[in-house]
Chain A
Amino acid sequence: MNSSTTLRPPLGARLPPVVSERLAKKFSRNLKERAIEAVLFLAAFVSVVTTAGIVYILVKESVVFFAEVPLWLFLTDTQWTPLFDDAHFGIMVLLSGTITSSLVALCVAIPLGTTIAVYLSEFASPKAREIAKPILELLAGVPTIVYGYFALLFVTPLLQAIYPSLPGFNLLSAGIVMGIMIVPTVASISEDAMRAVPMSLREGSFAMGATRLQTAVNVVVPAAISGIAAAYILGVSRAVGETMILAVAAGMQPNLTFNPTEPAATITAYIVQVALGDLPHGSVGYQTIFAAGLTLMLLTLFFNLIGFWMRKRYREAY
């Protein structure tokens, strides 16, 4: 190093590199670049602010609520009558509606979604897949209020024809329609998982004389199981957070039941019911919706985290 620098003429080393004026390093341009980067960063940071805002609002209002209603009563009381004189705040009542309707939805979405996923990934021709997937996407794009109308005024009368004692509002029809609504989610995520299984596994199975269905059931599905499970869990999380179908078709009467043929309110339907009325800001009734919202948020967060973790696992598998 030293010898080479001594060999070079000292003057030449000090000469600036030959660049045009427009490309030369400029303070103003550097500043502009930095400013733009900062603006873009702030835009990306909005998501963090949103999450922080959600947590702050839910916790802030819930803290006031739990100062008045002890947590253990919130979790164990079997009545939910926050607007009555004899107020009870048992979240179990709303939770039972949420759980029941979600279970009905899963009973519809899992078999249908999995069958569609296996069919599209292992049997359908590329052309059929090209047509079927966008149509499924359209199905997922229908507004949920429209599904609610459909559940209340089409599916319920249909079910009443089979089962006459079914009440006009019930968890069953809301759950079934909700299940159909989440079929595209379940189908498309599980299909992605199955398509990520390397072809060599299928070829090995075919070489042993296995048919397509045997390969699908014994090789592809087990290999993609964590992705498929993630799809189910995301389906659960959508069902738990679904609002309008239940608010329209399941009635808004709090009811501690696990019987899908009864009307019942879910956590989400309760929030809608309160929001539709005129509750003064700061009243206990107003705070209940934040406590209910916090419960809902924790519930879906739990499912989303499991789903996220499972998807991560299957991505690393191959």
Chain B
Amino acid sequence: MAANAPESTSATAPAVRGTTGDIRRLIARAKRWDVIFIVLGILALGVGFLTFLALFLDMLIDGWERLRPEFFTQFPSRRASQAGILSAWVGTTLVMIVTAVVAVPLGVAAGIYLEEYAPKNWVTDVIEINITNLAGVPSIVYGLLALGLFVYAFGLGQSVQTAGLTLALLILPIVIVSTREAIRAIPAMIREGAYAVGATRWQTVKDHILPYSMPGILTGVIIGLSRAIGETAPIITIGALTFIAFLPPSPVTADFPFLSFEWLRAPFTVMPIQMFNWTSRPDEAFHANAAAAGAILVFMTLTMNGLAIWLRYRLRKNIKW
């Protein structure tokens, strides 16, 4: 119709003839925004990655001259060039041992209870809401809890055991949630099979549920511990000293029974606190020490998180029920 009257309907003709073309042009224009957004998205991701890269490189470059073997074998010192992280990494190791010993059994047991045993009632609801809520409590509040309860009410002092218990409570929700997720991924037929041949609940859990969920639990434990390694605020709150130029008593002794738990009550310092101490000094020479300690901390958490991610990836690939 438009073609029959080229002159009189010239105003409407291109519009009618071009309808499909117009829509195509419209879509093409809109698609240009798609491309712009993809660039934006990659840029946003890039900002994240670049920050991370800048952070790690900045710390490596600033702390490079201090990253020598002596750095690991020297105590903190008034002189920046002689200061090391011996007491800090020993403290971190000891605190992590306490944290893991407390948090792993507790968290796994809680996860097993909630997935395999818990009846559907209000008590279970309260526990679940509590765990969700605890995961969102700022870490410094755990520090206040530890200060009021562990340090003063229980008289545990500003010691390795207090720090370990505090961090254990802090990472408990992480361990519980990952345990539950790992258990939930096990199909019901495994349990039914075990019950069908007469296994009790605990036998089912011990011989089937736990072994199969182990990699998932391990992932959660590693992520939890890597979080605990980097936590500073709660440990400062319980009043950990920042200048420790001695080591806690050795856990292995010469006399019978050859094992000593004195170290649990020893004062301590940990890597993040040592780093905080060096960072907040006005003397710039100490900033290199802080950078070196930071680089080691990042490397440690990175390795642990990487391990956890790799474990999870392996898990997802290998499991075929």
Interface residues of A (CB under 8 A from B): 23, 29, 32-33, 36-37, 39-41, 43-48, 50-51, 53-54, 57-58, 60-61, 111-112, 115-116, 118-120, 123-124, 132, 134-139, 141-150, 152-154, 180, 183-184, 209-214, 216, 234, 237, 240-244, 247-248, 268, 271-272, 275-276, 281, 289-290, 293, 296-297, 300-301, 304, 307-308
**Complex-state Cα separation, A211 to B42, whole angstroms:** 18
Residue interface mask B299-315, A partner, CB < 8 A = 1 = 00110111001000100
User: Is B294 close to A, CB under 8 A?
Assistant: yes
Chain A residues whose C-beta falls within 8 Å of the C-beta of B200 in the assembled complex = 29, 33
In the bound complex, do residue B294 and residue A293 qualify as a contact, i.e. CB atoms below 8 Å apart? no
In the bound complex, do residue A36 and residue B230 qualify as a contact, i.e. CB atoms below 8 Å apart? no
18 other A-B residue contacts (CB within 8 Å) besides A111-B44, A145-B275, A244-B233: A46-B106, A46-B110, A51-B134, A54-B137, A115-B37, A118-B37, A142-B301, A143-B229, A146-B297, A210-B30, A213-B37, A240-B138, A241-B138, A241-B139, A248-B280, A268-B138, A272-B233, A300-B138
CB-nearest residue of chain A relative to B23?
Answer: A209
**The residue from B137, B138, B226, B242 contacting A141, defined by CB atoms under 8 A apart:** B226
Residue interface mask B20-35, A partner, CB < 8 A = 1 = 0001000100110110
CB-nearest residue of chain A relative to B37?
Answer: A213
**The residue from B137, B169, B276 contacting A300, defined by CB atoms under 8 A apart:** B137
Chain A residues whose C-beta falls within 8 Å of the C-beta of B272 in the assembled complex = 143, 145, 244
Task: Looking at the assembled complex, report how far the CB atom of B10 sits from the nearest CB atom of chain A, in whole angstroms.
Answer: 28
**Which secondary structure characterizes the binding site on chain B?**
helix
In the bound complex, do residue B230 and residue A154 qualify as a contact, i.e. CB atoms below 8 Å apart? no
User: Is B160 close to A, CB under 8 A?
Assistant: no
Chain B residues whose C-beta falls within 8 Å of the C-beta of A143 in the assembled complex = 229-232, 272, 297-298, 301
Chain B residues whose C-beta falls within 8 Å of the C-beta of A308 in the assembled complex = 132
In the bound complex, do residue A40 and residue B117 qualify as a contact, i.e. CB atoms below 8 Å apart? yes
**Complex-state Cα separation, A211 to B29, whole angstroms:** 10
In the bound complex, do residue A304 and residue B291 qualify as a contact, i.e. CB atoms below 8 Å apart? no
Could you name 26 residue pairs across A and B whose Cβ atoms are closer than 8 Å?
A: A33-B200, A36-B202, A39-B109, A47-B131, A50-B130, A61-B148, A119-B40, A141-B302, A141-B305, A142-B52, A142-B230, A144-B232, A146-B275, A146-B297, A149-B59, A150-B55, A150-B59, A153-B279, A153-B287, A216-B37, A244-B233, A248-B279, A275-B237, A296-B140, A300-B136, A304-B136
Task: Looking at the assembled complex, report how far the CB atom of B36 sits from the nearest CB atom of chain A, in whole angstroms.
Answer: 8
